[in-house]
């Protein structure tokens, strides 16, 4: 690609992005930069242990590649990239995010404001028209229509001053492979910085995710808060009921949007509840008795829907959740009656629709 036009604005911004065995997304991101109305001055790609080291002939802007010998996870990849940038501003982007041509021009004045820690836009999912893609857009397009001060900005795209990163000590001692965006936002707010969104530009996530990955990603953020509550000593039944009632409300919204979305919500709920019990069992051994119950209860709910039960078990297997060895598990959960609670939204009619739609639901 040719050098940038002489008239193109190039403020002191480093674009930092991250890759691991998904070079196609990184190449596509780099190619998209040329359409921006304002260009960064340089680009850093952190290769977080790809089996085939990332390489690029892209030459629109100076490009540096920092390689981890093995995969260290999102937190360490982002810590490496954000710490390596020496420019005034850092544009940190997941490699599957695409920006409107005026995104950087729009957000720079906000990021330059002394008390602003992160400037960004809502992040919508735009990965196609399959049920999985439409569900992702429905459930995980974050903060759509929201502008002004917020308490959280998705790590998919951030614009910040490098001094902000240094002043709060980055992610601090945080070592979990995911959840770094929530922790960084907490540190910024504690340091007196504001997190600001604008709707005057657009950001989209274009990666099409498999069903089990959609569920796992969503639970990382949601589960972070519920697990923290358990770790702080909150009762297990309280955390379970918060999750159940939150999901029942979400499932009611799904019915209004697209009844096929109920399957994804059910998959999410069974996985999330199982993971919550597993986490609780680390410090509360009695919780281990409940780890098989969510799937057992879901199978009760789906009696008469063999194809749907099969798909649910397959998808949960990809999430390391397997069925109980016997039928007794369905009656071992005094904390709540899972199946009964969901019957108002998982009606026989809704289950019949999902059963007939299993071939379509399998499309990813």
The CATH number that applies at residue 172 is 3.90.550.10
> Is-contact 25 207, C-beta < 8 A?
yes
pLDDT at 323: 73
Are residue 246 and residue 190 in the same domain, yes or no?
A: no
pLDDT along the chain (364 residues), means of 10: 53 98 98 97 98 96 98 96 98 98 98 98 87 85 86 96 98 88 95 98 92 90 88 92 89 90 95 96 92 89 94 96 61 57 83 95 84
The answer to the question of residue 186 being in a domain is yes
Token pair listed for 196: 């600001």
Are residue 173 and residue 143 in the same domain, yes or no?
A: yes
- The two counts, helices (H) then strands (E), for the chain are 14, 11
Mark which of 205, 232, 263 sits at the end of a domain. 205
Are residue 157 and residue 254 in the same domain, yes or no?
A: no
pLDDT at 160: 99
Are residue 277 and residue 352 in the same domain, yes or no?
A: yes
Q: CA–CA separation, 331 vs 316, rounded Å?
A: 21
Are residue 58 and residue 179 in the same domain, yes or no?
A: yes
Percent helix, strand, coil in the chain, to 5, is: 50, 15, 35
Strand pairing class (148-150; 194-197): antiparallel
Are residue 304 and residue 179 in the same domain, yes or no?
A: no
Which residues partner with 159 through β-bridges? 91, 119
Are residue 76 and residue 91 in the same domain, yes or no?
A: yes
Strand pairing class (157-161; 89-94): antiparallel
Note down the domain range covering 103: 13-205
Which of 8, 20, 134, 130 shows the shortest CA–CA distance to 75?
A: 20
pTM: 0.83
Longest dimension (CA), the chain: 72
When computed from its CA atoms, the radius of gyration of the chain, rounded to whole angstroms, is 22
Q: What angle do CA 48, 49, 50 make, to 5 degrees?
A: 105
The answer to the question of residue 2 being in a domain is no
Q: How far is CA 313 from the centre of its chain?
A: 23
Q: CA–CA separation, 132 vs 36, rounded Å?
A: 30
Are residue 140 and residue 116 in the same domain, yes or no?
A: yes
pLDDT at 336: 52
pLDDT at 331: 47
How many domains does the structure of the chain reveal?
2
pLDDT at 325: 55
Mark which of 154, 174, 205 sits at the end of a domain. 205
What φ, ψ does residue 18 adopt, rounded to 5°? -140, 140
The answer to the question of residue 141 being in a domain is yes
The answer to the question of residue 7 being in a domain is no
Are residue 117 and residue 161 in the same domain, yes or no?
A: yes
The answer to the question of residue 120 being in a domain is yes
The answer to the question of residue 5 being in a domain is no
Are residue 221 and residue 166 in the same domain, yes or no?
A: no
Which of 123, 90, 111 shows the shortest CA–CA distance to 17?
A: 90
The answer to the question of residue 27 being in a domain is yes
Mark which of 205, 238, 259 sits at the end of a domain. 205
Q: How far is CA 359 from the centre of its chain?
A: 26
pLDDT at 106: 98
* CA distances, 237 to each of 206, 242, 330 (Å): 37, 9, 17
Q: CA–CA separation, 187 vs 240, rounded Å?
A: 28
Are residue 215 and residue 155 in the same domain, yes or no?
A: no
Which of 104, 50, 72, 278 shows the shortest CA–CA distance to 171?
A: 72
| Strands of the sheet with 42-48, listed across from one edge | 63-68, 42-48, 13-19, 89-94, 157-161, 116-120, 194-197, 148-150
Q: CA–CA separation, 71 vs 68, rounded Å?
A: 7
The answer to the question of residue 8 being in a domain is no
Are residue 162 and residue 299 in the same domain, yes or no?
A: no
């Amino acid at each position: 690609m040719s050098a940038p036009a002489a008239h193109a604005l190039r403020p002191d911004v480093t674009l930092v992005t991250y890759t691991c065995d998904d070079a196609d997304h990184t190449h596509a991101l780099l190619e998209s930069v040329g359409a921006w109305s304002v260009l960064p001055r340089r680009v850093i790609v952190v290769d977080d242990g790809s089996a085939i080291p990332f390489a690029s002939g892209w030459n629109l802007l100076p490009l540096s590649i920092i390689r981890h010998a093995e995969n260290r996870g999102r937190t360490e990849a982002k810590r490496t990239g954000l710490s390596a940038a020496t420019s005034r501003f850092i544009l940190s982007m997941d490699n599957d995010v695409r920006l409107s041509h005026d995104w950087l021009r729009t957000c720079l004045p906000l990021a330059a404001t002394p008390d602003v820690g992160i400037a960004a836009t809502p992040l919508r999912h735009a990965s196609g028209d399959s049920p999985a893609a439409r569900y992702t857009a429905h459930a995980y397009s974050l903060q759509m229509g929201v502008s002004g001060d917020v308490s959280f900005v998705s790590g998919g795209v951030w614009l910040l001053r490098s001094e902000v990163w240094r002043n709060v000590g980055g992610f601090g001692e945080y070592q979990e492979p995911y959840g770094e965006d929530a922790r960084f936002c907490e540190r910024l707010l504690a340091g007196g910085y504001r997190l600001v969104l604008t709707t005057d530009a657009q950001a989209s996530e274009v990666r099409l995710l498999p069903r089990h990955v959609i569920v796992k990603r969503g639970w990382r953020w949601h589960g972070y808060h519920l697990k923290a509550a358990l770790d702080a000593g909150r009762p297990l039944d309280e955390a379970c009921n918060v999750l159940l009632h939150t999901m029942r409300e979400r499932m009611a919204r799904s019915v209004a949007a697209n009844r096929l979305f109920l399957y994804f919500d059910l998959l999410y709920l069974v996985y999330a509840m199982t993971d919550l019990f597993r986490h609780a069992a680390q410090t509360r051994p009695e919780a281990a008795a409940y780890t098989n119950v969510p799937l057992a209860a879901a199978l009760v709910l789906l009696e008469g829907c063999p194809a749907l039960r099969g798909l649910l078990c397959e998808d949960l297997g990809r999430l390391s959740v397997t069925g109980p060895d016997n039928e007794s598990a369905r009656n071992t959960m005094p904390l709540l009656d899972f199946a009964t609670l969901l019957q108002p939204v998982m009606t026989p009619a809704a289950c019949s629709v999902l059963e007939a739609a299993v071939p379509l639901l399998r499309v990813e």
